[in-house]
Amino acid sequence: ERSTMSKLSQPPLRVCVTGAAGQIAYSLLPHICLGRTFGADRRVILHLMDIERAQTALGGVKFELQDCGFDNLVDVITTSDPNIAFKDVDVCVFLGAFPRGPGMERKDLLAKNAGIFKTQGKILDKIASRDVKVVVVGNPANTNAWVTQQCAPSIPPQNFTALTRLDANRAQSQIAMRVGVQPSAVSNSTIWGNHSSTQYPDATFAKVNGFKDAYEAVGDKAWLQGDYIKTVQQRGAAIIAARKLSSAMSAAKAISDHLHDWIVGSGGKIVSMAVPSDGSYGVERGLIYSFPVVADRGVFTIVKDIPISDFSRKLMLATEKELSEEREMTKQILFSGSKL
C-alpha cells in the first residue's frame, strides 16, 4: 500500500517518442502505459512527435490511447515541433530516422541522419530535463546516438544509449529454442558493438538455467560460432524480407526491456546496451558500443574482466572498426571547421 502511494506521489515521468505515428511506436506505447516499462504504478505524460504530414495519423493514435483507458497515462501531447516535444522530458526514445532508400550509399544515409540528430540534440540540450535518458533506435542507431550526445554537451554523456537489446533478445531466443528451454532460462548472452550486421552475438559466457555453460548445453560449437551469429546478425533483414516491413513488435518489446532495466533496474542480470565506451575491453573511448552491463535506477555499469578469446576479439574489433568509420564520416559531414 505504502509503495503504491509513494509511486503515485511521484511526479509523472515525461516520455518523448519520436516517429510516434509509426509501427514501432504503435507496439511500444501499450508497454509504457501498462507499466511494463517504468514500473506498475509509474504515471506518464507522453510527448508524441512525428513529421507534419503524419499529424492526422498521430491524432488517431492519441484517440486510441484515450480509448484504452490506461490509469497510468496522465496526458498525451502530439506535435511536429521538437521545441514542444522535448520540453522537460525525462526520457526520449528516438524511433524516427531517415530510412535508407534504394541505391542509397551508407555515407548519404549517415549525412542525412547526422543533420536530423544534430538539430534534435541541440534542442534537447536546451529544454529537456537535465538528466534526460536517451535511447536511439532509428538507424544507424549507435552513430545517431553519438551525434545527439555531441550536440547536447550539458546532458551527462552516459545518458545517451542505442538499442541493441533487440539483438540480445534474438540471441537469447535462438539459444533457448536450440536447447528447448524458455528464453528466460538463458542468461548472459551478449551483443558487442554496432547495431548492424557487424554486431557480435557472443554466447561464450552465456548460461542455461543459471549454471550450465551454453556451449555445453547446445553441444554444437560450430553452430554457436557460425549460423547462430549469422542468424542474429541478419534477423532484421529476414523479417523485412518476410513482412515487407521492419521489426516492430519485437523492437518495441526490446525498447521496453532496455528502458525498464536501465531506469528501474536489471535486478543484477547482465543485459546488452550500446553505451559510451569507457575504454573497457580496449574499445575506443567515446564510441557508442554495445557492452554487457548491469543497471539500476538510471545508472549502468559495464561488466569488466570477462575473458575474451581470439575468436571473440577479432569480431569485436571488426564491429568497432565499422563504428569508428561511421563516426569519422559523420564528423566530416557535421563538424568540419567547427570544434565539435
Active site residues: 195
Q: Whole-angstrom Cα distance, residue 318 to residue 339?
A: 28
Paired sense of beta strands 91-94 and 13-18, if any: parallel
Contact 124, 155 (CB under 8 A): yes
What dihedral angle (degrees, nearest 10) is formed by the CA atoms of 110, 115, 119, 124? 0
Nearest 5°: the CA angle 101, 104, 109 is 85
Q: Whole-angstrom Cα distance, residue 72 to residue 192?
A: 35
What dihedral angle (degrees, nearest 10) is formed by the CA atoms of 220, 226, 227, 229? 110
Paired sense of beta strands 133-136 and 160-162, if any: parallel
Q: Whole-angstrom Cα distance, residue 132 to residue 92?
A: 7
